[in-house]
Structure 1
Amino acid sequence: MRMRALFAGIGVLLIVLAGDVLAASDVRSVRLWRAPDNTRLVFDLSGPVQHSVFTLSAPDRIVVDISGAQMTTSLDKLALANTPIKGVRAAQRSPTDLRLVIDLSAPVTPKSFTLPPNQQYGDRLVVDLYDEGASTAPELPPTTIASEPVAPVTPAKPNAKLPPVPGGKRDIIIAIDAGHGGDDPGAIGPKGVHEKDVVLEIAKELQRQINAEKGYRAELTRTGDYFIPLRKRTEIARKKGADLFVSIHADAAPKSAAFGASVFALSDRGATSETARWLADTENRSDLIGGAGSVALDDKDRMLAGVLLDLSMTASLSSSLNVGQKVLSNMGRITPLHKRRVEQAGFMVLKSPDIPSILVETGFISNPNEANKLQSRSHQQALARSIHSGVRQFFQQNPPPGTYVAWLRDAGKIAAGPREHVVSSGESLALIAQRYEVGLSALRNANDLKNDTIKVGQTLQIPATTLASQQ
């Protein structure tokens, strides 16, 4: 009886071990993207794995050991041109232990992580190879502003590091951010059209139109099909010295009947509609596809950092709402609007405290009719023109000091006429009058106000000021 029990136990153990072997995850496919400063490899898996990465030199190569995996795809068809990768090879060290070797033509710094399944992909292993000299910002504990975790951001004055153009009249710089990219396709339309492709075309057209106008320069956060974490997008804008950050999207909604363009600004008190809340959650989750980076507020303690962020975010939010309303009004002339006012939600990509920032939803790619329009070259050009018009109107009324547009206005070549101001939290009528250097009574009269009571989100007309008062 004891011998029978022993053999039975051994049999159960062998079945369990065999089950573990069979449970090894398959590496089903490999995808590759090249970004300006790094190369990303994504290994699509049938289940979770454990892995380790180390580097070898002479010759340079990266070794990735994956426990609980086996290779079921070919590595021969990867597009390795313009990357530091010479080749990728694999060897099965045991039925469940896989070794990948990435042969290199130049030294790189690897960073790797695994990702759980989401709506678009299953389990993934991501290996980022950063070129020499590229920044690989470490993950830092977040600080919290307005009940949402916000990674610390270094406050800086826009264009502080930019040399003035000859004559001291610099360009106004617009950072244009095409959403998603690379292994994050964004929303997918009824016929398989990807949001990342549509918005990149609109962004490039907007850049072309802006750069055709003297006194303005547009910079793209991404110029091709590669992924950039949400935080790095605003970091790129800051390094470019941007006066405005415009993020372009074409999202999906739970119901395919949803239609219309929208413009969003950051909210410090929650979303203004259920759609805004849903879209913000969807966009912010995109960092889970590619991992999230952050930058440090090195020379400030965390409490002071939070205060500085809060103050500067309040200042830029008013401008964000102002330019957002102008963009929305112009878009309403060429496409239906989802809402006729700028909505507010907690989009992570808008959390750049020192730069006015808006997110433009050009339409719902989940709607078959809008998906067709969004792929049309003529509609893309019209959308870009409407965004450009709103941006131009805002800066003609609010040109940053030292810019060519400010010089035109002060020289009387652009009317220093009435301007609009969207009231944000914490502002008073007296504070707004002081900001625009107009009399409090003149501000009341321009807006038919019987007292000094104003509401958050209210649009005020700022009366014209004399050129002398602006100098």
Structure 2
Amino acid sequence: MLVNRLISPLLLLLLAVSAQCVCAEQASVQGTRVWTDPAKTRLVFETSSAITHRVFPLDDPDRLVIDLDDAVMQSNLPKVDLGDPLLVGLRGGVRGGSHLRIVLDLKQPVRAKSFALSPNERYGHRLVIDLTPKDGSSVRRVALPSFPNSAVRKGAGRPGRGPAVIVAIDAGHGGEDPGAIGSGGTLEKDVTLAIARELAKLVDREPGLEALMIRDGDYYVGLQERIAIARERRADLFVSIHADAFSSANAKGSSVYTLSYGGASSEAAKWLASRENSADLIGGVDLSTGDDLLANVLMDMTQNATIEHSTEAAAMVLANLGRLGVVHRGDVQRAGFAVLKAPDVPSILVETAFISNPDEEKRLRDRGHQRELAEAILAGVLGYFRKYPPHGMLVDASPQGGGGGAREYVIGPGDTLSGIAKQHSVSISALRARNGLNDDMIRVGQVLAIPEDS
């Protein structure tokens, strides 16, 4: 009898300890975020530890179920934007006493991809669920500008290219990745997007130029995907916009970077490239896919020529930023930025200012200063294109590029003298006379002056 009396309290104690251990092993969902970009809708669950999960669909009506094992919800589920093309809303509840079930009410059937992200310097454990339409269509179609009335046109016979010279504008960071944060709370991702949008407006106003926004909202685009978007549209120049940060609040000024396969031009450049190249770990990219796009496409001869052109463009942008204000370094810097590794697209990275400097942070938030930065970048871009016009581009060859001067045409593959004459409404004889040609032989890369009158 005495033994039974002793065992009962001991058994109760063991059961209590066991229950506490079970509770301690439960993962907690500490936050949930929803992002929508042109390719997908993304859900991000921040959890206290790695978590086991299952995802499966239900129909009539369309739903997606996410079961999280040994998990407890410690935050409210976010409200979904009414304009989201895939989601109606999220709801959750307890399943089996210690598990969590999240139900996504959908507007249409979806495909779901899930992956886990390990902790980094900014976040702990995260579970990412990416949703795309089951029919394969885009989540949100992005309207790209066209130039039906432009007097300046690219040459014909270039499959996959639009009529204009394409400037890819890459707003750094976004979505899960805020980038650097100023002492006043300014997020780099917000500043870069604002400047990128200003630059896109200016580019679109230039006859014959077209802006391609790599991201045009608060969402993250993987570094390799940024390159792929620019290459898919056969961009003529890639401009990545950032706002620098340093441990000292006194650091100030603009910098412009190009790619280096050797050593970085300074320790600061090496540190900055390392920080930017880790953005995929913060922004949320499934690195387990083994995507070796860069390894497959980087060709030495092409890349070397691209780097040379990148340096020319960077030097012109830096010179114009110098006219606007102080520059951090007076020459173009080099480092191994992953986002600059397109083998066939000249690419530059512009650090507009130091967001870690309170004075520069304040200016970066000012719409007027954002526009001034965009204007300085555009001036450098235009200077580069006047010096190195893409094949088939008709450019203004006047000293200021302001119109009223001679026009020049860069011959591209498939061009003929008769075709160029017809395209620009001049006679072949006038075209020959203006360029001192004895016959109709022309070569790719040759520059022809276009007479004003036939």
Q: TM-score normalized by structure 2?
A: 0.78
- 1:171 and 1:404 in contact (8 A); partners too: no
Is residue 308 of structure 2 the alignment partner of residue 318 of structure 1?
Answer: yes
Match of 2:376 in 1: 386
Partner amino acid, structure 1, of 2:92: A
SS class of match (2:359)? helix
Match of 1:287 in 2: 280
**CA distance, structure 2, for counterparts of residue 2 and residue 324 of structure 1:** 85
Match of 2:17 in 1: 15
Match of 1:133 in 2: 136
Match of 2:418 in 1: none
Match of 1:70 in 2: 72
**CA distance, structure 1, for counterparts of residue 406 and residue 22 of structure 2:** 76
Match of 2:121 in 1: 119
Aligned to 1:54, which of 31, 56, 77? Answer: 56
Shift of 1:160: 5.0
The 3 A distance-change label for structure 1 pair 73 and 200 is same
Shift of 1:296: 6.8
Match of 1:352 in 2: 342
- 1:328 and 1:342 in contact (8 A); partners too: yes
Q: Alignment identity in percent?
A: 42
Shift of 1:18: 2.0
Shift of 1:179: 0.8
Match of 1:243 in 2: 236
Shift of 1:60: 2.1
CA-to-aligned-CA distance 1:149-168 (integer Å, 9 cap, x gap) = xxxxxxxxxx953356xxxx
**CA distance, structure 1, for counterparts of residue 327 and residue 16 of structure 2:** 64
SS class of match (1:250)? strand
Shift of 1:106: 0.7
Shift of 1:349: 0.8
CA-to-aligned-CA distance 1:415-442 (integer Å, 9 cap, x gap) = 89xxxxxxxxxxxxxxxxxxxxxxxxxx
The 3 A distance-change label for structure 1 pair 215 and 284 is same
Match of 2:147 in 1: none
Partner amino acid, structure 2, of 1:291: V
**CA distance, structure 1, for counterparts of residue 78 and residue 190 of structure 2:** 26
Aligned to 2:331, which of 341, 346, 352? Answer: 341
- 2:27 and 2:70 in contact (8 A); partners too: yes
The 3 A distance-change label for structure 1 pair 68 and 279 is farther
Is residue 317 of structure 2 the alignment partner of residue 327 of structure 1?
Answer: yes
Shift of 1:47: 2.7
- 1:260 and 1:337 in contact (8 A); partners too: yes
Q: State the aligned residue count.
A: 389
Between stretches 47-56 and 121-130, larger displacement belongs to 47-56
**CA distance, structure 2, for counterparts of residue 98 and residue 11 of structure 1:** 28
**CA distance, structure 2, for counterparts of residue 284 and residue 316 of structure 1:** 20
**CA distance, structure 1, for counterparts of residue 102 and residue 436 of structure 2:** 68
The 3 A distance-change label for structure 1 pair 20 and 251 is farther
Shift of 1:247: 0.5
**CA distance, structure 1, for counterparts of residue 300 and residue 53 of structure 2:** 40
The 3 A distance-change label for structure 1 pair 106 and 21 is same
Shift of 1:214: 0.9
- 1:263 and 1:343 in contact (8 A); partners too: yes
Aligned to 2:168, which of 156, 169, 175? Answer: 175
Is residue 263 of structure 2 the alignment partner of residue 273 of structure 1?
Answer: no
Is residue 257 of structure 2 the alignment partner of residue 264 of structure 1?
Answer: yes
Match of 2:354 in 1: 364
Shift of 1:113: 1.5
Between stretches 209-218 and 58-67, larger displacement belongs to 58-67
Shift of 1:347: 1.1
**CA distance, structure 2, for counterparts of residue 163 and residue 116 of structure 1:** 40
Q: TM-score normalized by structure 1?
A: 0.75
**CA distance, structure 2, for counterparts of residue 337 and residue 180 of structure 1:** 22
SS class of match (1:362)? strand
**CA distance, structure 1, for counterparts of residue 137 and residue 257 of structure 2:** 32
- 2:258 and 2:314 in contact (8 A); partners too: yes
Shift of 1:178: 0.5
Match of 1:85 in 2: 87
Shift of 1:77: 2.8
Partner amino acid, structure 1, of 2:196: A
- 2:223 and 2:280 in contact (8 A); partners too: yes
Shift of 1:291: 0.7
Partner amino acid, structure 2, of 1:368: P
Match of 1:191 in 2: 184
Partner amino acid, structure 1, of 2:326: P
Between stretches 357-366 and 39-48, larger displacement belongs to 39-48
**CA distance, structure 2, for counterparts of residue 20 and residue 80 of structure 1:** 39
Partner amino acid, structure 2, of 1:287: D
The 3 A distance-change label for structure 1 pair 16 and 253 is farther
The 3 A distance-change label for structure 1 pair 297 and 8 is closer
SS class of match (2:228)? helix
Partner amino acid, structure 2, of 1:93: R
Q: How does 1:190-229 map to 2 (within 5 A)?
A: 190-229=183-222
**CA distance, structure 2, for counterparts of residue 104 and residue 382 of structure 1:** 43
- Structure 1: state its 5+ residue gaps: 137-158, 165-169, 417-465
The 3 A distance-change label for structure 1 pair 335 and 2 is farther
Match of 2:160 in 1: 162
Shift of 1:345: 1.1
- 1:231 and 1:292 in contact (8 A); partners too: no
Match of 1:234 in 2: 227
Partner amino acid, structure 1, of 2:160: L
The 3 A distance-change label for structure 1 pair 103 and 30 is same
Q: How does 1:427-442 map to 2 (within 5 A)?
A: none
Is residue 402 of structure 2 the alignment partner of residue 399 of structure 1?
Answer: no
CA-to-aligned-CA distance 1:97-131 (integer Å, 9 cap, x gap) = 21111121111211112223333322221111113
Cα RMSD after superposing both structures? 3.1
The 3 A distance-change label for structure 1 pair 71 and 295 is closer
CA-to-aligned-CA distance 1:182-213 (integer Å, 9 cap, x gap) = 12111111111111111111111111111111
**CA distance, structure 2, for counterparts of residue 13 and residue 467 of structure 1:** 98
**CA distance, structure 1, for counterparts of residue 285 and residue 78 of structure 2:** 27
